[in-house]
Amino acid sequence: MDIFTLLHEDHENVSLIFKKIESMKSKETAQTQEQLFKELYTELELHAKVEEDLVYPVFKKYEETRKIVEESLREHQEIDRLLSELKGMRPDDQKWMGKLGELQRKVEHHVKEEEEQLFPQGRKVIGEERLQQLGETVETQKEELRGQRSGFKAVL
């Protein structure tokens, strides 16, 4: 699977988790929201890690994609800040859903820029074979990281 198909699947998975959390508004679902947030946190953390370690360095080398990568790295910092704030809150806190909405907007903006700018430009600067290799490397790394991080401990 090429890298952009793999990243798109990650984006779709995160979007689905956000929708599941949004659909649960009552206090009785705080525990379920907590579990879904743990899943969201892990997915976003793994996605950012492989992008920052494996994907962005490849595309930062090219003038056509350098600025997009730099903007994506700044967005990762904002997303990480929001994740940290949410991790320190409880789903039954009145401000939690508002903060989650802010996170969702930041993630959706980031995804839109990646898919509309980085993906098409990235396809132009490296060949299909390299895209496939990068996808395989990222998939392997994510599986290794997922195994290492299965012990997520939230302050929720």
pLDDT at position 153: 42
CATH code of 3-148, in short, is: 1.20.120.520
Q: Which runs of consecutive H residues, i.e. helices, occur in the chain?
A: 3-22, 30-50, 56-60, 63-87, 94-113, 119-125, 128-148
Q: What is the pLDDT of residue 99?
A: 95
Q: What is the pLDDT of residues 43-53, one digit of tens each?
A: 999 999 999 99
Distance CA 4, CA 130 (A): 11
pLDDT, greater one: 24 or 98: 98
CA–CA distance, 119 with 40 (Å, rounded to integer): 23
Judge whether residue 152 has pLDDT over 80.
Answer: no
Q: What is the pTM of this model?
A: 0.88
Answer for the pair 10, 43: CB distance below 8 angstroms, yes or no: yes
Task: Report residue 2 as tokens.
Answer: 């090429």
Asked whether the beta carbons of 82 and 105 are under 8 A apart, the reply is no
- Give residue-wise pLDDT tens across range 53-86: 999 999 999 999 999 999 999 999 999 999 999 9
Least confident of 32-36, 43-47, 71-75, 131-135: 32-36
Which has the higher per-residue pLDDT, 27 or 91?
Answer: 91
